[in-house]
Amino acid sequence: MPLVTTKEMFEKSMKEHYAIGAFNINNMEFIQAITEAANEAKSPVILQVSSSAIKYAGIKYLMKMVEAAVESTDIPIALHLDHGPDFETCKMCIDAGFTSVMIDGSKYDFEENVALTKQVVEYAHSKGVVVEAELGKLAGIEDDVNVAASDAMYTDPEQAEEFVRRTGCDSLAIAIGTSHGAYKFKGEAKLRFDILAKIKERLPNTPIVLHGASSVIPRLVEMCNENGGNIPGAKGCPNEMLKEAGENGVSKINVDTDLRLAMTAQVRRVFNEDPSVFDPRKYLGEARKEIKATVLDKINNVFCSGGKA
């Protein structure tokens, strides 16, 4: 089947209380690993591209590789712009054939965020593309943007209702305590499920999105560190919390950091164990296997979207 929007996959996820993984892609190995895993698990999947990924790989290369993945699999796949910074980037992706875009106006004040989101929604909907918007601020490092923990802000449920009504966005990213990157919590991990419940109460039919949701898999962090890496004290969002989020109204869970760790851990291991290796297929092949295993585990055991395609 051709690329799909997230409309149907989100409707089913809200009815049946599970989440769909949205995985960031940068190159061929990521695209193959993610889509092969989703295909094996018979799960819908979202491939997402940030504007810096577009800068890195080029939109034409990304489109063609995603097209190849779509032809090689038999599951619903959506192609989504992650953290669209402005109207122009969203328009470029819509015109290139993306089926979903995020406009991230969370850096602006409420009224500016509403106006910008509305502008993107109008254009996207006229082309049959869906829009994710964001309200509230996550701490951490997002490809280009660095938000200090002191500037982070939980999403206000009342504002969320007004925001969705006024913008007409199709899904909403909220801030309930997750953050981007490998250092999410200093002490104990904590998510504000009470805020999620209040948002869901006011917006029962709006798919909710959780960013910064990597679990920062301890085994992969260790594998990096044991093979020459230096990522001390990294800490992510525990799987039990992500599972709970999926059962309680979160329809889309974003994962980037865990897949970067998977690739890096295996590349480091191969180099460390056999310094004579210089065939990229040897280390990228191992990296691809680890990314695929990571995605399979999340789909089947955390997001619970296996068999839902």
Among ligand PGH, Ca ion, Zn ion, none, residue 104 binds (CB under 5-8 Å by kind)? Ca ion
Among Zn ion, ligand PGH, Ca ion, none, residue 217 binds (CB under 5-8 Å by kind)? none
Q: Which of 74, 82, 104, 156 is catalytic?
A: 82
| Nearest-CB residue for Zn ion | 211
Min. distance of Cβ 48 from Zn ion in angstroms? 9
Residues that bind Ca ion (CB under 5 A): 104, 106
Catalytic residue flag (residue 144): no
Beta pairing partners, 23: 47, 255
Residue reference for tokens 């082309």: 127
Q: How far apart are CA 46 and CA 226, in angstroms?
A: 32
Question: Is residue 252 near Zn ion by the rule CB under 5 A?
Answer: no
The DSSP code for 277 is -
Q: Site mask, ligand PGH, residues 19-48, x = CB under 6 A?
A: -----x------------------------
> Under DSSP, is residue 176 helix (H, G, I), strand (E, B) or coil?
coil
Count residues near ligand PGH (CB under 6 A). Answer: 13
Q: How far apart are CA 270 and CA 226, in angstroms?
A: 12
Q: Site mask, ligand PGH, residues 254-283, x = CB under 6 A?
A: xxxx--------------------------
**Residue pair 74/1 in contact by the 8 Å Cβ criterion:** yes
Among Zn ion, Ca ion, ligand PGH, none, residue 35 binds (CB under 5-8 Å by kind)? none
Tokens at residue 155, please?
């999403």
Site for ligand PGH in 79-98 (CB under 6 A): 82-83
Q: How far apart are CA 14 and CA 59, in angstroms?
A: 31
- SS3 string, 61-101, reads HHHHHHHHHHHHCCCCEEEEEEEECCHHHHHHHHHHCCCEE
**Residue pair 236/191 in contact by the 8 Å Cβ criterion:** no
The DSSP code for 133 is E
Site for ligand PGH in 207-226 (CB under 6 A): 211-214
Q: Which CB atom, from 5 or from 254, has the smaller least distance to Ca ion?
A: 254
Catalytically active residues are 82
Q: Which residues bind ligand PGH (CB under 6 A)?
A: 24, 82-83, 180-181, 211-214, 254-257
Q: Which residues bind Zn ion (CB under 5 A)?
A: 211, 254
